[in-house]
Amino acid sequence: MRTSQKNLCIRPILLAVALPVAAGTLTEDFNAPFPAWESGWLGVNSNLVNYYVGTGGSHSDRGNNPDGLWIADSTTYHGGNVIISFLPSFAATLTSLCIDIAGYVPLQVEIFDATGQVLLSTPLTLTYGATSDPGVYAHYSTTSTTGIGGFEFLGDVTIEGNTSIDNVVVDHGGTAVPEPAAWGLIGAGLLALAGIGKRRAR
């Protein structure tokens, strides 16, 4: 760990093919005006929420955090542990996770794999650094051969609104299994192709 500054109905045989996802690195640095990150890879593949939305605020509100995100895991503010989970098909493709965290209250930071097994568990280094630009964050990272399911913050304190993240980076190197909606599209496309083939044969 180091302290860093900002830098249908389809026959099963047709469903045996998965859509390939190119291997690579994905980064979210929260630099673009909010709510841009919500439609990016992190926003669409996790339950991560802007804390201000969870307290009835605007999606565009970043509060006093010029370069990171005050986090929540639900649009209903609850004040308990915060668990950020990736969609299962996305989680299964991940081989590493790096994240910068600025904390203001004592917490335990955990990163878990796609099966829920803990990969990293450590006390959060308090940096009190989310309100400057660049911010001052503690850096956490881990690798996995069993995917990365997400990360969580545990403690008997108010975590939402007292914890900021930045520079979330993941490496993915496998083939993602499509979500149910994608399976439907694949099946419909294959059925359409089969229909075209039958018409041509006549």
Q: Read off the pLDDT of residues 6-52 as tens digits, 9 standing for 90 and up.
A: 443 333 333 333 344 568 999 999 999 999 999 999 999 999 999 99
Q: Which residues contact 127 (CB under 8 A, 6 or more apart)?
A: 3, 101, 102, 103, 135, 136, 137, 138
Specify the pTM. Answer: 0.77
Taken in order of first residue, the domains within the chain and their CATH numbers are 23-177 (2.60.120)
pLDDT in the model for residue 183: 44
Question: What is the rounded end-to-end Cα distance, in angstroms, of the chain?
Answer: 67
C-alpha distances (whole Å) from 172 to each of 5, 94, 96, 144, 179 are 25, 4, 7, 11, 17
Nearest 10 degrees: CA dihedral of 28, 32, 35, 37?
A: -20
User: What is the mean pLDDT of the segment spanning 90-109?
Assistant: 97
- Write down the H helix ranges in 17-81: 41-44, 51-54
pLDDT tens digit string along 134-188? 999 999 999 999 999 999 999 999 999 999 999 999 999 855 444 454 445 445 5
More confident residue, 200 or 145: 145
The pLDDT tens digits of the residues spanning 119-139 come to 999 999 999 999 999 999 999
